[in-house]
């Protein structure tokens, strides 16, 4: 299984990815998680990434593409992977396509998680993550246990201003990759509103169809 999860910020990509990789036993490759780890390391590259990320902008393609392509060509991805948050621009989608053609492998599916803009801001602003387990919580829709609240992380780009900018970037930069995959006949659309368990079932159903 070589699949991509696409959707606006807050659509539930990370939440669904965690469930799907457990079932399919493939690595979860989140470009956002990779970039946040680099920022945390304090490296020069991390400082560059932070500059783009915290305001809600995109990391430039010439930085993003080599990092992610290198990751998917590592040995643990030989039997598949789930990409979450990449590709996010048309040049990224084309670069991925070239890399996969070169490797003689094909994408199994691109799953688009659809959520109306009006729900996204609240989803992202009240998102919290547990740095110890990687679990994604939501203060209203998936409340964390009381005892771990002090250690939870609120992302620097989960402010109203940065989220609004990310939603706008999604429409201008990322939405153009949808026709690219639709023309290839591998795009599967899933309604991302409702109980997360129901959404996992919807994704599994389209993957089997």
Q: Do 116 and 54 contact (CB within 8 A), yes or no?
A: no
Task: Look up 166 and say whether it is catalytic.
Answer: yes
Binding site for ligand ADP (CB under 6 A): 7, 9-15, 31-32, 35, 52-53, 56-59, 64, 85-86, 88, 92, 123-124, 127, 136-138, 141-142, 157, 166, 194, 196, 199
Classify residue 34 as left (phi > 0), alpha (psi -120 to 50) or beta. alpha
Nearer to ligand ADP, 48 or 104 (CB): 48
- Comparison of 167 and 207: residue with beta carbon closer to ligand ADP: 167
Closest to ligand ADP by CB, 34 vs 186, is 34
Residue 88 annotated in active site = yes
Identity of the residue, 26 or 32, whose beta carbon is nearer to ligand ADP in the bound complex: 32
Q: Cβ neighbours of residue 18 under 8 Å, at least 6 residues apart?
A: 28, 134, 135, 136
Catalytic residue among 54, 71, 155, 204: 155
Active site residue 169: no
Closest CA to 120 of 197, 55, 58, 193: 193
Rounded CA separation 22/199 (Å) = 15
- Is 202 a residue of the active site? no
Least distance between ligand ADP and beta carbon 6 (Å): 9
Task: Give the nearest distance from C-beta 78 to ligand ADP in angstroms.
Answer: 22
DSSP characters over 123-146: HHHTEEE-TTT--EEETTTBPPPG
Kind and range of the H or E element at 162?
helix 160-169
Catalytic residue among 123, 127, 169, 188: 127
Residues annotated as catalytic (active site), given as ranges:
13, 88, 127, 155, 166
């Amino acid at each position: 299984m070589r699949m991509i999860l696409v959707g606006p910020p807050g659509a539930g990509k990370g939440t669904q990815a965690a469930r799907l990789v457990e079932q399919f036993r493939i690595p979860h490759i989140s470009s956002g998680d990779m970039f946040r780890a680099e920022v945390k390391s304090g490296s020069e590259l991390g400082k560059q990434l932070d500059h783009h990320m915290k305001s809600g902008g995109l990391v430039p393609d010439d930085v993003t593409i080599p990092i992610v392509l290198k990751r998917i060509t590592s040995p643990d991805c030989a039997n598949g992977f789930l990409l979450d948050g990449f590709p996010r621009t048309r040049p990224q989608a084309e670069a991925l396509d070239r890399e996969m053609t070169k490797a003689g492998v094909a994408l199994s599916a691109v799953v688009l998680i659809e959520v109306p803009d009006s729900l996204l801001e609240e989803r992202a602003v009240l998102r919290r993550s547990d740095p110890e387990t990687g679990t994604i919580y939501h203060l209203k829709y998936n409340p964390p246990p009381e005892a771990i609240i002090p250690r939870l992380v609120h992302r620097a780009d989960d402010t109203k201003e940065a989220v609004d900018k990310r939603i706008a970037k999604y429409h201008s930069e990322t939405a153009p990759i949808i026709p690219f995959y639709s023309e290839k006949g591998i795009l599967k659309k899933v309604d991302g509103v409702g109980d997360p368990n129901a959404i996992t079932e919807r994704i599994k159903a389209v993957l089997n169809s």
